[in-house]
Amino acid sequence: MKLVTAIIKPFKVEEVRASLDEIGISGMTMTEVKGFGRQKGHTELYRGAEYTIDFLPKIKIEIAVSDDMVEQVKNAIIKSSSSGKIGDGKIFISPIEEVVRIRTGETNEDAL
């Protein structure tokens, strides 16, 4: 089992969700986060004053999947969130030791 964590631009969320739905992914966790990478933020003008926004709004999506679904999930996220411009985001894939469904007590693959 793997945890796929994707950091994407906020306006790409619906496209990513639809793309994952197409391949049969029914559950995910989404969090609004802020951060920066190579993009390094940007400057804006507000009431005549220029100021720097260091942390840009992003969306963090977390999906627990079986090992055989990792490539499909990764490719679906890349296809639906890529604009070809800086700041498109990143995908992190980590191993999961154990999963437990609280309601039923099911574990690991059965709990996904």
On the question of pLDDT at 51 being above 90, the answer is no
On the question of pLDDT at 44 being above 70, the answer is no
Confidence band, pLDDT 50/70/90 cuts, at residue 41: low
Which residues have C-beta within 8 Å of that of residue 30, sequence separation ≥ 6? 13, 59, 60, 61, 62
User: Which of 11-20, 39-48, 63-72 shows the lowest per-residue confidence on average (mean pLDDT)?
Assistant: 39-48
On the question of pLDDT at 24 being above 90, the answer is yes
On the question of pLDDT at 91 being above 90, the answer is yes
On the question of pLDDT at 71 being above 80, the answer is yes
Residue written as token pair 């790409």: 12
Q: Which residues pair with 65 in a beta bridge?
A: 2
Confidence band, pLDDT 50/70/90 cuts, at residue 40: low
SS3 61: strand
**What kind of fold does domain 2-111 have according to CATH?**
Alpha-Beta Plaits (3.30.70)
